[in-house]
Chains A and B, each alone.
Chain A
């Protein structure tokens, strides 16, 4: 249904093949950032501004050796309500060459009430390939009170090395019928995000992010918690217990810790945009503009 191949042409990353079919459309601007930038940006657009019940979208990307490709969106991906219990899905398969970089930096997915949606992203790469994935979801049209009111959301991100060895296998499932009221487990958090930074070119950014997240969180977890007690007085003004509005943690993964996973839970979408902007800003020289500007 859609595919893009990026290869070196005259020493520069170029889309040598680009094909898309309704309801998916790819838009490749001629230039992003300075003329020194060697990156192909691909905007993925859905006709109608969102994913309609029953849509099945699949695309394949190939990033040639030493090339850079960025995949992004023009706005959040809205998944509309399910009609007749149909599930919509998006499948992405990407092959990343040696010393190449693929950055997938979309806006978040927002599933409307009763929506059923499944996405799967499978990556195949070499040990010196580089990959950045941002995968995130908001609770719905939370201003109108729709909070985690969709029926099914499942997101899979699988990363394999050349020999087929699994490096990273992650599936998140939120399903009303199976696991119960999703809102209950989310407390007041409206956004769940995941960032993967993988490969030698990402080392520097990984170190910065780890330090930054450690600082944000250590500040919030300063005070040791009091033990619970039946006699504990509640609701004293100066003993106000609040959950942090932004929670993040980092995990290294892979042989030689070549990968970093960041997980985020936040009360507002804006706070996550701000976080992503800040953490991914060092990518500017590689892709031409800082992500999530």
Chain B
């Protein structure tokens, strides 16, 4: 049983929480994550990723950058899931995601996640009320990391699990993109995911519980390459 830290308990209890938590992390949840390759498609076409070793390294580097750049937003949103804090984080992240490709992907995924979560997790009515209030304002971008943190907080994840969950879904989505790009088969993907998990945990421990002011990017080459997505001759993914 997860114990909420630092915010009011939602109005449903115990074991039922776990069903909702697993549902949030399940790839079955229709959040459109699979339209995005996290720069993998561009990395393949610029020959940064040519074989399965390169792929494993790429996944690890994406996780490193997720840790350094995005975890602070997940952390802060899950710790203080108020409308005001969420909007503040959304604005800061919008200025921080200087890469247009990843900024648009973040907005697209965050909007979809908020829409789905507020409809599905109806026992947490604050999600819907916050979403409606934010749509009304027109100045909220609905970036992914703060939305994810907000929902984790609402579903009873503790702060470490919220950040671990974000690393988990990022890895899940990059590896899924790799299978769709035919870089790896389904069993290979599962093996890779399992191999990288302990490395992802080390990355999590390095970057977790950091302030948003410390958010930084640590993979400038990948960032540059991801920005080339729009120049790709043929593409499967939107980013």
Total B residues in contact with A, Cβ cutoff 8 Å: 46
* Chain A residue nearest in CB terms to B93: A169
Q: Is B187 an interface residue (CB 8 A)?
A: no
Q: Is A250 an interface residue (CB 8 A)?
A: yes
Q: B64 — which chain A residues lie within 8 A by C-beta?
A: 179
Query: Would you give the shortest CB distance from B9 to chain A, in whole angstroms?
Result: 33
B10-18, B28-36, B157-165, B222-230: which one contacts chain A?
A: B222-230
Q: Are B233 and A224 in contact (CB under 8 A)?
A: yes
Q: B47 — which chain A residues lie within 8 A by C-beta?
A: 225, 241-244
* Chain B residue nearest in CB terms to A180: B64
Q: Are A243 and B46 in contact (CB under 8 A)?
A: yes
Interface set, chain B 89-124, CB cutoff 8 A to A? 91-92, 95-96, 98-101, 103
Q: Is A167 an interface residue (CB 8 A)?
A: yes
A62-70, A201-209, A258-266: which one contacts chain B?
A: A258-266
Interface set, chain B 141-173, CB cutoff 8 A to A? none
Query: Would you give the shortest CB distance from A43 to chain B, in whole angstroms?
Result: 27
Q: Is B231 an interface residue (CB 8 A)?
A: yes
Query: Would you give the shortest CB distance from B196 to chain A, in whole angstroms?
Result: 15
- Grouping DSSP codes into helix (H, G, I), strand (E, B) and loop, the B interface class, with mixed when no group exceeds half, is helix
Q: Are B220 and A192 in contact (CB under 8 A)?
A: yes
Cα A217 to Cα B226 with chains together (Å): 12
Q: Is A171 an interface residue (CB 8 A)?
A: yes
Q: Are A221 and B183 in contact (CB under 8 A)?
A: no
Query: Would you give the shortest CB distance from B215 to chain A, in whole angstroms?
Result: 7
Residue among B222, B223, B231 facing the most chain A CB atoms (10 A cut-off): B231
* Chain B residue nearest in CB terms to A156: B216
B225 contact from A165, A175, A247, Cβ within 8 A: A247
B182 contact from A179, A186, A227, A247, Cβ within 8 A: A227
Query: Would you give the shortest CB distance from A133 to chain B, in whole angstroms?
Result: 12
Q: Are B101 and A172 in contact (CB under 8 A)?
A: no
Interface set, chain A 153-210, CB cutoff 8 A to B? 154, 156, 165-175, 178-179, 184-187, 189, 192
Q: Is B194 an interface residue (CB 8 A)?
A: no
A218 contact from B101, B183, B231, Cβ within 8 A: B231
Query: Would you give the shortest CB distance from A264 to chain B, in whole angstroms?
Result: 7
B19-27, B48-56, B79-87, B128-136: which one contacts chain A?
A: B48-56
Interface set, chain B 187-238, CB cutoff 8 A to A? 206, 214-228, 230-234
In this complex, the interface size class of chain A, counting residues with CB under 8 Å from chain B, is 35 or more
Q: Are B227 and A250 in contact (CB under 8 A)?
A: yes
Q: Is A253 an interface residue (CB 8 A)?
A: yes
Q: A265 — which chain B residues lie within 8 A by C-beta?
A: 220-221, 224-225
Query: Would you give the shortest CB distance from A173 to chain B, in whole angstroms?
Result: 4
Q: B44 — which chain A residues lie within 8 A by C-beta?
A: 225
Q: A264 — which chain B residues lie within 8 A by C-beta?
A: 224
A247 contact from B181, B206, B224, Cβ within 8 A: B224
Q: Are B96 and A249 in contact (CB under 8 A)?
A: no
Query: Would you give the shortest CB distance from B211 to chain A, in whole angstroms?
Result: 12
* Chain A residue nearest in CB terms to B223: A263
Q: Are B183 and A248 in contact (CB under 8 A)?
A: no
Q: Are A173 and B218 in contact (CB under 8 A)?
A: yes
Cα A207 to Cα B17 with chains together (Å): 51
Give me 9 other A-B pairs in contact (C-beta within 8 A), A154-B216, A227-B183, A248-B224 excluded: A171-B215, A175-B218, A214-B230, A218-B233, A220-B46, A222-B233, A224-B234, A228-B50, A253-B98
Which residues does A use to contact B, with CB under 8 Å? 154, 156, 165-175, 178-179, 184-187, 189, 192, 214, 217-218, 220-225, 227-228, 241-244, 247-253, 261, 263-265
